[in-house]
Amino acid sequence: MYTEELMAAVRDVKDFPEPGIVFKDITPILKDPVLFRRAIEMMSSAADVMKADVILGIDSRGFLFGAAMAHSIGTGMILARKAGKLPGEVVKESFGLEYGSDTLEMQADSIEPGQRVLIVDDVLATGGTAKATANLVEKLGGEVAGFAFFGKIDFLEGHKVLDTDNIFSLLHF
């Protein structure tokens, strides 16, 4: 029931951020407290199943879902941010996007060795951002418990680059 309501609330924005891209705009869900709460409840169930010790939100919309999930299940949250946004010692990982390239960073002391990390973001497209984040987790001695996405663009097959079956997606586009 809620999945259909969530799907109906996602807005397609053509040619954003570049011509040929259809951007999945999730802001209508964020402003609707009932839909946002339901999305967080459903995504948080994945964290329980994957036995995550901590939630990792990917810059920037992964922060929105990740923080709410961490609060919901009673864990902490760590960040994977775009380059130059974090203080202190960081580790970096560059990666390709469906429309360019980017670099993510994490604070070098953000993960304890062996800690099970659930990586959270809004949408899984080609998988480059999620894979780069997983690489950062492993560089820091953590274990990727899995991934949780609000939505997944199925035809782009981003799940194939993630090296795990522990992938939860609430919606499929």
Does the N-terminal peptide bond of residue 33 adopt cis geometry, omega within 30 degrees of 0? no
Q: What is the rounded radius of gyration, in angstroms, for the C-alpha atoms of the chain? A: 15
In the set 4, 18, 41, 98, the catalytic residue is 98
**What's the token pair of residue 165?**
């079956």
d(CA 44, CA 14): 30
d(CA 116, CA 79): 14
Sequence-ordered list of residues with C-beta below 8 angstroms from that of 41, at least 6 positions apart, any chain: 72
In the set 4, 18, 38, 61, the catalytic residue is 61
61 is catalytic: yes
Q: What is the separation of C-alpha 33 from the centre of its chain, rounded to a whole number of angstroms?
A: 20
CB atoms within 10 A of CB 50: 19
98 is catalytic: yes
Q: Which residue in this structure is represented by tokens 């984040």?
A: 133
Active site residues: 61, 98
